[in-house]
Each structure stands twice: as structure tokens, then as C-alpha cells.
Chains A and B, each alone.
Chain A
Amino acid sequence: MEDFPVLEMKHISKSFPGVMANDDISLQLKKGEVHALLGENGAGKTTLMNILFGIYHADRGEVFINNGKVSITSPSHALKYGIGMVQQHFTLVPSFTVAENVVLGLKDFGFVIKTKTVESKIKELSEAYGLPVNPRARVWTLSVGERQRIEILKLLYTGAGIIILDEPTAVLTPQESDMLFKAIRKLVSEGSSVIFISHKLDEVLAISDRITVLRGGKVVGTVEREKIDRRGLVRMMVGRDVLLDQEKPVVETGRAILKIENLNVKNDKDLMSVRDLSLEIRSGEILGIAGVAGNGQRELAEAIYGLRKKVSGRIELDGHELRQGNVAERIRAGLSFIPQDRKTMATCPNLSVMSNLFMKNSICELVHCSPWKLDGRRMHSKADELIGEFSISTPSAKTEVRYLSGGNLQKVVLARELSNEPKVIIAEHPTRGLDIGAMEFVYKSLLSQKERGAAILLLAGELYEIFRLSDRVAVIYEGQIMGYTPPDPSYIEEIGFMMAGARQEDH
């Protein structure tokens, strides 16, 4: 293995309104290595690669290829430098054949397409790398795994020397993953370099030569595969600096308000991602669920809230079973949800602060209004009251929320979700992307809800946050609760084990 970097990214920074997606990231890719980018969702992996691939432009920082400084402005530009990327969403034309799709990516395929030559070359490549695919098949007839192979063959066909794979195994069966890993091995043995983006520890450990861990848009560190194990990686991912500097209010817990029994939920890819999960939260209690992202947290939250249909199981709120897929009923019953997607789910970006505050007003009134005659004045004064109470910094109640910072946006969500004395609160990554001040505000709000007697389910990636807020910690792995611990940093080892898939009773 030669040791000079074929690619170097230096001090890359990129911010989106309200979020620092990449903060001074540096990365080195050596010739002939598989370099994993590991991190939670939202850690900045995809943003970084989109910058490299010319989809985004970095605010600061430089990119070097073979020690020469370059400025990549578009994907086709990136291809020119031999950088190819297989994105999570494929870019194939379903009605075309495999060969036609491969040719489509080429800049100069000439006026007449020599299908025969292309087909035979694809055949050669697919055999050489163990990526079987029929060049004449129409893409729409192929499976997701086969489509991914086409994307990779496309890159090989163009002779890309640096290949970026963005969460490639997310759509694959274990057998297909094995096939992919063999192809990656073959590629690097021939001198190509691969950047492998993932949040799955096992794969990263299985395939990489080196691993760079990102957290919150920053590089936590880059390590050699041989010098680290699972637990070490988990610790890097969730953060070492778990400090308990704040006292938690002590609250007498009451009866069990949220009860979940044997819940099974499927994800968007139709795979079971919450399996036979049971849990219970009492009033005045915060249950923190720790786990690497993608282990069923989202599906669990959405199933409780009614946005996602459960396959089987029972969800009870204060003694009443919740029906399938009826959000309104749950809101009426006193269930609040702070989803992780503030912009895509919890708010309407083009509507005013006021409209966003009263989004659920027709179902659960924050302010009393006849649906036939909304009282603008009363709504306005209530909105102003909430803006004050939650110290939302906005020019006025009429400002569209897309102009608000992440922290203020989250305060709008909190104001709506917490002002109605909910019985149960689901908080999913409630502080992701927020600055320290806003984070503290979220913590205080949730703790005061707990004091009031709400039952709170907290799903978070940061162990700090879990320890800071929770009364109990549960660890989720592949849709199952692996075990419970007290919210104490001394259990961090055990939690790390469980996050990596070990059952509590195993040791």
C-alpha cells in the first residue's frame, strides 16, 4: 500500500442557516485504502462528501488531489478528477438498459452509441469485480442491489480512482453486502481509493483501513482499523465528555402513563425495525433511549405518535389504547411530539410564527377560537405571550419561521408542544444542531415538564444529553431494548457494549 494521499481536504467548513454542518474538517485519503466516515445522522458526513463531489460549495477550506489544489464546482467536474460517488438515491433512467445508463453518464459518447462494445466492456468489468449484472436488462426490472451495482460499474467504466459510497449497505441484503465488500477489496487492491460512509459499526470495522469519526460537524478523530474496537468507536461517536454538572429535580413518579407492549414496526424499506419492544414510562419520569442512529428510534417515535402504522403490539396512553394511525386522537389525549426534523415535519417554513404556534389549534386548543370565526386579536396576543414565555427571538409573530435560527425554531416547537400540559412527550434529538444556550433552554423546558408530571420519552444520540435529563436509560439496538442502566457516567462502558449489540445479561 503506497502512502501518499490521493485526496486531501483541509479545514472544510460549511454552514446552513442555523446549522454548522461542517466545522473545520480535514481528511486524508491514501492510495489504495478504504477510508470510513463514521458518524450519526446529521454529523456532517454527507455534506462533506457533497462538497467534495461539487454539489455544495464549502464556505472555507481547500481540496487537494494528488497534491494539487483544485476547485470542484459540479459533479461532472468531480468526475474529471476521477472522483465518483454512489449516492443514496440512484440516478438511473428506469426505462433504459444497463448499458445505456452507463453510457449516459459519459460526457463524450459520440453520436452513435456503440452498444456492443459498451455491453462487452460492462460484462468484463462486472465479472472482474464480482458485480453480476446483465448489461441488456432494463433498469426498472432490476432490484435495488443490482441498481447499486450499475452505479458502481458506471464509475468503474469512467475510470474513477476515488470512489465515494454513501451508506451503500442501507439498501442491501447481507449477501449483497458481502458481494459489495469483495468488490471494494478488489478495487483497492488495484490501487483505487474508497471513501465509505456509514453509521453502522460492524461494517465499518469489517471493511475499512482507516476510520474518521465525525460528530456534530467536527472531526472527533481518525484512527487505524487495527488500533480500535467497537467500544472505542462507540465512545468516539457519542462523546467522551459526559459531565454531570447539573442537578436534576427530584420528582415523585406516579402511575405508568405510556405503556408499550410487544411493538413491531417496519421502516420505509419495509424491514422490521422495531421488534417486540416493550417499555413503560411513569408520570414525572424521563426515559432516555440511547443507541446508534438507525436502530429503530425514529420508527418507535413515529409509531407511538401515530404517523407510522405498527405491525403489531399495543400502545397505551394513560390506560387507553391508541388506535392505528390516528394522530388527532393522540394529540387530543395529551401526546406531544418534538420530532428531530424541525423543518420538514414540526414546522411550516413559509408560515408565520403565529401559524406555526397554532398548527394544532383545531385539534387541541392553545387559544379558544370558533373554527368559523378565528379571533385574530386573541390569537395574536396569545402568540406574543408564548413568544415572551419561551423567549423566542423573532421580529414579530408574523415573521415566517424559515427566517428563524435553529434554536428559535425549536423554541417555537417547544412552545406549541409543551404549553398544553401534555401527559406524554416524545422528544427526538431535541437539541441537534443547537448552540449551547438553546440546548440549555430545551433541557430546562423538558425538566420543568417532568416536574409538572409529564412522562417523557427522550431519544438522543448524545449520551451527555441522556445522562443530563433521564431518570432511567434504556439502550436500543436493532429495534430492541438491550437493557437499562441508571443515568450515571460510570455505566458508560456497559452502555457502549449494549449500543454495539450486547445484551445486558451477556456479561
Chain B
Amino acid sequence: MKRFLLILTLLLVTTAMLAAPLRVAFIYVAPIGDGGWSFMHNQGRLYLEKVFGSDIVTDFIENVPEGAEGESVFRGYAQRGYDLVFGTSFGYMDSMVKVSKSFPKTTFMHCSGYQVTDNLGTYFGRMYEPRFLSGLVAGAMTKTNIIGYVAAFPIPEVIRGINAFAMGVQYVNPQAKVHVVWSNTWFDPAREKEAAVSLLDIGADVIAQHQDSPAPQQAAEDRGVYSIGYNSDMSAFAPKAFLAAPVWNWGPYYEKIVRSVMDGTWTNAQYWGGINDGAVDIVLSDLVPSGVAKLVMSMRNAIVKGDMHPFVGPIYDQAGNLKYAEGEIPSDGDLLSMDWFINNVVGKIQ
């Protein structure tokens, strides 16, 4: 009798598990049509739907402001019994910490944050790796040795990206300088274009960016100079300017997370995936000369193999202080809280 009950229970549990698909929700900070950050996360969601088919149900909400609004959205999903909720903007951190404590049965994943709870994990990508590679391209292609960088907000993620890019530039072209202008926006085409134009006006002939809009690319195209994109292959926006872009590729990572939740092996370990994981990568356009492309690809292979790191000493800051000695590599903690520029960057962290 006991045995029978046991079998029955097991049967019920397994059928329940089979019958109920995993319910996954994504919260985006911008519209998914932005062609940038939220767009790439949504690509990851679509990848999940393709891979898991009927084993999964995904839902999403766009344009959720950071702050109190976000909190009610997280609560809404959790309250409806969603199994896994991805919050894809740094500003959701406080809300996610708070809501994750109220709903222990739901797994929360926060992109780019640093706080965890029992059921809240964080994840991010080592975007500085492809940024470094794109810096190689920019350094090789500039003739004026003035490279413009339209920066978003003065936060470690952005600063790290600028420094990695500048490391790449320095690697191939020690004379070139990276000029930084802040737009203080994530998505505001008008302001980002203005910022790009101000860099073009001082003679920049390659424009790189950290925002989600392709406006800086278009500004470069209008002036007939080169551009480095971000997030996704932006060649469609500026076919004559676009050289390369460091890009996100969340699909494979999201697949891993969903599987770990399905089989119960999920932990709140902080995930920081690089090119070797497939979370980030670089795309190159046909405008990149084959010699440069070859250099970039060999560097990429070296990074994947672990033979190469974008940040290798000696690294000096803008004041000329030696921050990392010959051969020294900054720790992850240092990288995550970076708040200074290396010596070939022109500009100030506000």
C-alpha cells in the first residue's frame, strides 16, 4: 500500500512537471524595437522559445522604468507564479532584492547588478573582451589619430568598456587618442547624435558608442567617416561607416539558466560570461581590411583560449600613475568597480 502511494505520488509529481511548462518572464528597460540592449535580450528570449518549444512559456514587458514602477511589475509576475524572472537593467536591483525575498519560489536573475539573495542571481557579460577587439579595428583605421567615443553614463560598466577599447587602440596605434563625450542617456537619438557630431567636429574619424540607438553611426556615415557600433550588427544603419561592433548573444546563456532551473541545479552564483561562453562576441563588416580582420580574429582566439587578456600591464592612468605593472592583470573586483581612465583616453569622468 505504501509502495502504491509512493508510486502514485511520484506519478502525480512527474505528470505535473511534464504538464506545466516553465513560465519565464523578461522585464526590459527600453522598447524591444530599439535595436540595442533590450532588443538583444529579447533575441535571447526568442531563442529560448525556439529551443524549448512547448516546455516553456515566455512573457515580457517593455519600457519599465527603474524604481517603484519596476517593483510592481516584478511583484506582478511573481504573484502569478512565474518560475523564472529576468530583470535586464541595473536599476531594478533594489526592487528585485525586495521582491525576491517576498517570493522565495520564484527564481530571479538580475543583469549587471551585484546584490544576490537565496533566489536572486546576477549575470553579465565580459563585454570588455570584444570592446578591446573593436579598439584594435579603430586604432588601425584612424588616420587623424582622433577616435571619438560617445559614452552613456559614468558607471563602471561604461568606463570599463572605454578602457578596454582604448587598450585595443593603444595596442595597434600608440599615437591615437580616444576622446570621450558623455550623453547621459541610454536611448536618445537626438542627444547621442549631437554628442557624436561634437566629436566629429574636433576631427574624429572613427566613432564608437555605448548607447542603444544607432544615431552615432548615422552621424559618422553623414560625415563619411568610420564607426564602431554596439549591441548588435548595426551595419544596416550605416553601411558605409560601420566597421565592427561588440555584440551580446544571450540565447545560449539563457538556455543554460532555464535548464538549471528545470532540473533544480540553479544557484545564485554570479555569472560573468565572456567570448568563450558565447555570451559576447564581435562582428566585423566587409569594410575592415583583411589584414586587420586577421589580427582581430587571432586576438579573439587568444582570448578564448585564455592566452590573452585585454587588460595586461603596464597600464597607466590619465595622470601617468602606473596602475598595473608589467604583466599584471586586474582582478574581477577591480574591473567591476573601475572608475578611472587609462592614459590614452581624453576626457573626464564627471
Query: Are chains A and B touching in the complex at the 8 Å CB cutoff?
Result: no
**Residues on A close to B: CB < 8 A?**
none
